[in-house]
Amino acid sequence: MKRILITGATSGIGRATALKLAKPQTQIIITGRRAERLQEIAAEIQARGAECLTLCFDVRSKNECRQYLEPLGRVDVLVNNAGLAAGLEHIDKGSTADWDAMIDTNVKGLLYVTRIISSAMVEAGQGGHIINIGSIAGTEPYENGAVYCASKHAVHAISQSMRADLLSAGIKVGEVRPGMVETEFSEVRFHGDKERAAKVYSGITPLTGEDIANAIDWMLSAPAHMNVNEVVLMPTPQAGSYYTYRG
C-alpha cells in the first residue's frame, strides 16, 4: 500500500493532486481546515478505489501538526501544498495580519510538516519523495507581493537545502513552481472578492489544478535513479510575473 500525504487538499492544486493520485493500493491522506470539504473529497478518492484518511487541522499550529502527523509514521510521498497569498499591497500599506498568515502557513507550516514527515522517512530507512509547491514568485519578486514572494523564495531555498540534507537517506525532493493557476487562490488573496479574483485570469486560459497534478504524477513516476528537481509551469500567454499577453 503506497501512502501519500497531501496538505491543503480541500481545494485547487491539492484537491486535484489527491484525485489524480487516488488509485487502488494507495492510501491518500488529505489535510485542510474545512472538515466538510475533506469528507466530500474523501468520498471521491474512495470512488477511485483508493483508501482515504482525512486530517482536519491548521498547519500553522506546531501542536496540531504533531498531534495529527506524528501518529502516521512513515509515508511514501509528501506533497507540501497548503499555502496562500493574502493581500496585494505596497509594503507601506500591507496588513501585518496578512503577512503573518503567509509566513506562518507557507514557510513555518511547511517546515513543521516536513520536520515530522522527513524524520519518519529517515528513521524507516526506505527512502521517500517530498514535493514542495513553490511558485514563479519564488524567483521573481513583483510589486505589491513582497511577503508572498518572500515566502515562496523561502520555499525555493528550503527545497534546495532539504534535497541535499536528505540525499543520504535516499529521499527525493522536488519543487513545482507554477505561474497562474485558476483555483481559490485569488479569491483568498482578495479576501473573498470574487469579481477582483476573476479579473486575474481575464483574457487568458490559465493553468488548472489538474495541470499541476499531472506534473506531480509525472515527477512521482520517474525511475528510481532519476529525480525531477524542479518543474516551472505557466499558461502559454504568460512569460513571467510581469509578462502576460491578454490578446
Tell me the closest approach of the beta carbon of residue 122 to ligand 8X3, in angstroms: 30
Q: What residues contact residue 119 under an 8 Å CB cut-off, 6+ apart?
A: none
Q: Which of 205, 237, 233, 239 is nearest to 219 (CA)?
A: 233
Residue 241 contact among ligand NDP, ligand 8X3, none, beta carbon within 5 to 8 Å by kind: ligand 8X3
Residues 153 to 192 in contact with ligand 8X3, rule: CB under 6 A:
179-180
Q: How far is the CB of 110 from ligand NDP (least distance, A)?
A: 8
Judged by CB under 6 A, the number of residues near ligand 8X3 is 6
Q: Whole-angstrom Cα distance, residue 182 to residue 243?
A: 17
148 is catalytic: yes
Cα separation, 55 vs 57, whole angstroms? 6
Closest distance to ligand 8X3 from the beta carbon of 179 (Å): 6
Question: 50, 137, 155, 173: which one contacts ligand 8X3 (CB under 6 A)?
Answer: 137
In the complex with ligand NDP, which residue's Cβ is closer, 105 or 122?
A: 105
Which chain residues interact with ligand NDP by CB under 6 A? 8-14, 32-34, 37, 58-60, 81-84, 105, 109, 133, 135, 178, 180-181, 183-185, 188, 209
In 3D space, the residue among 25, 57, 28 whose CA is nearest the CA of residue 41 turns out to be: 28
45-53, 89-97, 130-138, 221-229 -> range binding ligand 8X3 (CB under 6 A): 130-138
Place of cell 516551472: 232
| Lateral strand order in the sheet of 77-80 | 51-56, 26-32, 2-6, 77-80, 128-133, 171-178, 230-233
Q: Where are the beta strands (DSSP E) in 140-198?
A: 171-178
Catalytic sites, residue numbers: 148
Footprint of ligand 8X3 (CB under 6 A): 135-137, 179-180, 241
